Every structure is written in structure tokens, then in C-alpha cells.
Structure 1
Amino acid sequence: MEPSPLGSVDKALLTLDALGRAGADGTSLAALSTEVGANKSTLHRTLAALRHRGYAEQSADGTYRLGPAVLGLASAFLAEENLPALLRPALDALSAEVDELVHLGVLAGQEVVYLEKVEPRRAVRVWSAVGRRRPAATTALGRALLAAGPLSAGPLSAGPDGGTPETEAALAAYTAPGTTTDRLRAAVDEARRTGVATETEENEPGIACAAVAVLRAGRPLAAVSITAPVERMTGPARDARISALRELLPTVLPAGLAVPPAP
């Protein structure tokens, strides 16, 4: 690797990396000095500057850890308005692999908002538009996000008496016209079990979708879907598209992002 054009800045960035690896427990000045490759006096000044701006903090026992300002940078980088540009290369790669329409969406209350789309080379008999909103309960994108987020915890399967009041209330909060609580329960159960959410002709005749959540630190940030005519979402063709979501997409996502693990 070529040397940094500005050594002091490079040392500060290496220090942030080391603090990130140290985690919440932090690390000592001596350990940081060894890891970063800087003498203690120089590193102490670097840490003082990072503390001044909130990017590092020092505990009562003298150890150092990341400061809260780092969260602001991460939030800005992964903000909703940045996601289309950040994830566009991954969407392009997925669409090129399966030659189908690919969407990126986020959860906004009870709806999914479509942030980006990539058209395939061949014609697709489906209308879509960036900025469109649809009920999360009836879309593969929404079901993937619900399964990884608001409906990720606790049993959803209905018991002899129809499930617990908490379960029913959680499902009812997202149930929308065009589906039922039982259908949403089954769809979310499938997504939680397989990591992939699906929808077949529930929004448009002849069209089916499959989607996965995009996770950061185990929490859903967005979802990516493949939309295709039903005949290309059955049998081996469906398997190929599911495989692309599970296996190709994780390899082209930005560092730190992932999809739910396959069963």
C-alpha cells in the first residue's frame, strides 16, 4: 500500500480503526501505541484531538473507546437519501445476473417506499416508480423488512386460541387491505424461516416478487427485491432468483451490510 499523503491524518484514522476493533470495553494507550505504530506522546495528542471532536472518549480507568460522534457519521452515510447511490452497484449487479427488475425499498410506518429501481434488458410487464408507496403487508419488500424488524421477535404462529394478544396486535398493526392477518402471519413466518419474503399476484396479476432485507448489525436498513412474471418465478427459474438474492447480493453489498442467513 502506498504511504498516506498526510501521516498525521492517517494516524488518526488508524486510531479510529483500532478503537472500533476494541469495542465498548476500550483499550489502553500502550495497546493502541503498539497497534497503530505510533509513540505514546504522539498518540496521546491524536487522541486528545479526537476527544475534542467527540470521536473518542476516555474512561475513568484511562482506557479509550470510540465516541458518539462516530454514530453521526454512520447515520449520515446510511441515511435514506444516500441509500440509492450507496446500493446502486449492488442493484445493478443483481439485475444483470437475473435480467429482471430489481427494487430497493425502506419501511415508512405501515408502508414501503421505493427508493430505487434497475430495469432489466428485457421488457417487464409491471409498472413501478421511485417514490411509490405500497402497504408493507402486501409486498415482498415490506414482508422482508417486517420479518427482520418489527415482527422479528416472538412466536407468530397461531395457537389453538388464535395466538397471544400481543401477537395478534402486532400483526393487526400492519395488516392492510388486500391481505389478512393469517396471510401476513404465514408470509412473515416464511421470511423469518427462510430469510426470503415472497409475494405472488397479490399486487398485480401475473407478477411475483421475492425480497431479502439488507441488514446492518443485525437490523434491517432496507430491502431488495426481484420482480418478474409468474412464469419466471416458479421451478428452477425461481430457485435461480432466490439463489441470487441469498448468494450473489451479499457479495456485492457495501462492507458492513448483509442479508439474513440462509436456513
Structure 2
Amino acid sequence: MACTARLWKVEYMPVSPPIATTEQSAGTESADRVADVLIAFAQSDKPLGVSELARRLSLSKAVVHRILQSLASRALVQPVHGDTTYSLGPAAIGLGTKAWSQLDVRTVAAPVLRRLRDRTRETATLSVLVGHRRVYLDQYESPQEVKMVVEIGPQYPLHSGASSRAILAFLPEHFVVEATQELRVTRPEADLDAFLTSLDRIRELGYGTSNNERNTGAASIAAPFFDSAGHVIGSVSSSGPAFRYSSTADDDHVAHAAQVVSAAEDITRGLAGPA
């Protein structure tokens, strides 16, 4: 008996990727919203409130409020101006400091700082703006026995010290207003007119000085450096014991300041990249 073979055609249907569950989609959307809020703060030159964030991000005020409460509980944002607005908090500044340490600014600045240290024989420091605070990012210590050494990482206000004011002088006006208000609270005896005049002087000369200010017995000369768009992002300083720093009218001081300004300009050019 002859057998007839029968061929069966088997059709394979393409397998679709698994469809995200409602929970997964909601989680992704929530993460996106949190990221958008943090980015909004990073891109803003001023504190932001619930209404402003809701408008910018097309979110409800209730959603924005919940996100801010969550971020505030982790110190990623902090309330200012009577809890009506928020700015980046200490934890965000810590993240920013870590990010700065991984960017090219340290690489660009390293040979410049070494050269400044070698020429002045004083400690050369690199500071950057993180949020509304200044942070030391790097330093090259003086070879001399008596010297100035800074701590890398802590946050400093923008109103005190040459390194801070060299940055503040070139920031938008609301930074100056905020720094002035903070100075009034932390140092009620401070001469605010003299403080504002010192910022004008920094803009005129291109550098700032401090002597026995933040630390007794310490002095510093600092100049700002800028990104490729012309925004101030940090400062470089030459710091040491006050007794080795000349009067501002002295020729040695002028020469010392010129070296600091030149170092800051070198960093600015380095960050801009090839012409």
C-alpha cells in the first residue's frame, strides 16, 4: 500500500515584546517628573515655587508639591523665603560637587594651578559654583612650611572670602540680593554698602582680595573663570598667611594679582576648547 506523505505548514507568529505593566509605566512617568523638576532647578538662576514649576512643566500643583516634599525629605531641595519657594539643597550640591570632580575642569585647571603655585609659592585653589554656594574642588599646596590649606568639599556662602566674591560679582543680580540678605543675618555688624562696593571693585579689577576675613591670619587673592558662553562658573585663588601678603597698593601685590588673573584666564580658555 502506498503511503502518501502529508506536509504540514507551520506558521510562526512573531513574538511581541512584553507590554509594560501599568505599574511600570507609572513608575517611569514618576521618575521622569522628578528628573524634570531637578533639571528645572539646575537651569534656573533663582528659587522656584510650586506654581512656577507647575507652569513650566505642565504638571498639576498637587503633583509638583508631592515631588518637592519628597525631594526636600532627602535634602535635594530646600525651602527658602518662608517655604514659598525652593532651591537646590545640600544633597544636590553634593551631587554637583561629585559631577564637577568628574568633568574636565579639574583636568584643565591642574597644570594652571601647579604653575600658579610654583610662581607664587602659595597654595593655589580651584573653586566652583554649585547651586547658590561655592565649593573647593582642588588645591595645590604651598611648598613653604607655613601655608594655607583648604578642605575640599564643604559649601561656603557667596558673601564671604575672595574666592566667593570673585564669583558673586559676575552672577545675576538676584544672587547678590540673596547673598546680601544672608550676610545681614549672619553678620549684622557688616557694612552692606562696603560689601556692594567691593563687588564693584572686583568687576573693575577682575579679582578680589580678603585678609583675616573667613579665617584669622589668612589672606587670599582670587579671580573668576568662565564657561564658553561667558557665564561665571568658579574662581582660582592664591592663598597663604596674611603676613606674607602685601598691601593692595604695593607693587608685589599688583604682580601677585596679575598672576592669579592670568591663571583664571588660562582656565577660561582651556574650558572653551580649541579656537
Give the TM-score, by structure 1 length: 0.55
Q: In the alignment, what sits opposite 1:177?
A: 186
Partner of 1:196: 207
**Which of 260, 263, 274 matches 1:245?**
260
Q: What pairs up with 1:45-84 in 2 under 5 angstroms? A: 80-81=100-101, 82=103, 83-84=105-106
| Distance change in 2, residues 1:167/1:214 (3 Å) | closer
Say which of 92, 95, 112 aligns to 1:90.
112
Shift, 1:91, TM fit = 0.8
* Mapped contact 2:162–2:208 kept (Cα < 8 A): yes
> Does residue 1:118 correspond to 2:144, yes or no?
no
Q: CA RMSD in A?
A: 2.8
Change (3 A) 1:168 1:256: closer
Q: Which of 231, 236, 252 is residue 251 of structure 2 equivalent to?
A: 236
Q: Unaligned regions of 5+ residues in structure 1, if any?
A: 1-78, 152-165, 259-263
The CA deviation at 1:198 is 1.4
CA distance in 1: counterparts of 2:265 and 2:176, whole angstroms: 33
Q: In structure 1, what is the equivalent of residue 235 of structure 2?
A: 223
Instruction: Name 2:218's counterpart in structure 1.
Output: 207
CA distance in 2, matches of 1:168, 1:243: 25
Match of 2:30 in 1: none
DSSP 3-state at the match of 1:136: coil
2: CA distance between counterparts of 1:167 and 1:92? 31
SS of 1:202's equivalent in the other structure is coil
CA distance in 2, matches of 1:180, 1:187: 11
Q: Which residue of 1 aligns with 2:38?
A: none
State the distance in 2 between where 1:86 and 1:132 align. 22
CA distance in 1, matches of 2:176, 2:240: 32
Q: Deviations over 1:16-51 (max 9, x none)?
A: xxxxxxxxxxxxxxxxxxxxxxxxxxxxxxxxxxxx
For 1:167 and 1:104, the matched residues in 2 are separated by: 21
Name the structure 2 match of 1:10: none
Distance 2:176 2:206 in 1: 22
Report if the CA contact (8 A) 1:102-1:119 is conserved: yes
In structure 2, C-alpha distance between the alignment counterparts of 1:98 and 1:255, rounded to whole Å: 21
Shift of 1:220: 0.8
CA contact (8 A) 1:232 1:238 kept: no
| Cα distance, 1:169–1:147 mapped onto 2, change above 3 Å | closer
Could you list the structure 1 runs, at least 4 aligned residues long, displaced by more than 6 angstroms after superposition: none
Shift in CA distance, 206/257, structure 1 to aligned 2, threshold 3 Å? farther
Which of residues 159, 169, 181 in structure 2 aligns to 1:137?
159
Work out the percentage of aligned pairs sharing the same amino acid: 23
State which structure, 1 or 2, has the greater radius of gyration over its C-alpha atoms: 2
Q: 1:132 to 1:201 in 2, by over 3 A?
A: same
**Structure 1, 203-212 or 170-179: larger mean CA deviation:** 170-179
Question: Match of 1:123, SS?
Answer: coil
2:170 matched residue in structure 1? 148
- C-alpha deviation, 1:247, in angstroms: 3.1
Where does residue 22 of structure 2 map in the other structure?
none
Which residue identity does 1:85 align to in structure 2? Answer: T
**Amino acid of the residue matched to residue 93 of structure 1?**
R
What TM-score results when the alignment is normalised by the length of structure 2?
0.53
